[in-house]
Chain A
Amino acid sequence: EAQVTQNPRYLITVTGKKLTVTCSQNMNHEYMSWYRQDPGLGLRQIYYSMNVEVTDKGDVPEGYKVSRKEKRNFPLILESPSPNQTSLYFCASGRGSGYTEAFFGQGTRLTVV
């Protein structure tokens, strides 16, 4: 089954404690991206990756890092989480060339206290 898998689904952490949210896709997609979703603001892009070792900033990259060492994985790293990063996070993937955010993961609800 074609899918994008995020882990964990839920996470409560404390300010400043580094964390990683994993994302994996099984469709051999070139393109992957991360979004955060906040009430009234919709989905805002954090980072995206066109292919292995190719990443670029989205609209709200501050406080986040990503890496794309393998085609299937695109982890999101919060080096020093703060309460304003409390949000619902989604990973997405697609073939590229206009078919980018074709599949979304189920989301990770992060709370930073």
Chain B
Amino acid sequence: TQLLEQSPQFLSIQEGENLTVYCNSSSVFSSLQWYRQEPGEGPVLLVTVVTGGEVKKLKRLTFQFGDARKDSSLHITAAQPGDTGLYLCAGRSNDYKLSFGAGTTVTVRA
């Protein structure tokens, strides 16, 4: 059983459309991180959110940490083919362990 549930598991959209990926848990996290992983590569850290209710923007990507620090979302505006990849969320509890969700595979068609 995953500590962090990501939805949807797969997402395929047309270039220019918007998309949202969700990351939910019944556990409270001290921080939550989002990564993007491309085939044959290691995950690349996109952002870390720490405060409940926090919103961070990274160009066309918007990350939100839930008020109760149990969930998070990633929203991509006007998606481009370069956004294609596996998006992973990971939550940190009070020790140094990081728990990953299973990931959302995003495909942006040109």
Contacts and interface: CB of A to CB of B under 8 A. Distances in A.
Contacts of A35: 100
Interface string B71-110: 0000000000000000010101000111111110000000
Interface in B42-81: 42-45, 48, 50
Interface stretch (A11-19, A62-70, A74-82, A104-112): A104-112
Contacts of A99: 48
Contacts of A107: 40-42
Contact of B96 (A59, A100, A104): A100
Dominant SS among interface residues on chain A: strand
Interface residues of A, number: 27
A48 B97 CA distance: 8
Contacts of B98: 33, 45, 100-101
Contacts of B30: 98
A33 B97 CA distance: 10
A33 B50 CA distance: 21
A59 to B, nearest CB: 7
With most chain B CB atoms within 10 A of its CB, the pick from A31, A101, A102 is A101
Top 5 closest pairs, chain A to chain B, by CB: A104-B42, A43-B100, A42-B102, A42-B100, A104-B43
Interface of A: 4, 31, 33, 35, 40-45, 48, 50, 58-59, 90, 92, 96, 98-107
Given A42-B88, A105-B42, 4 more contacts: A31-B96, A40-B102, A42-B101, A99-B48
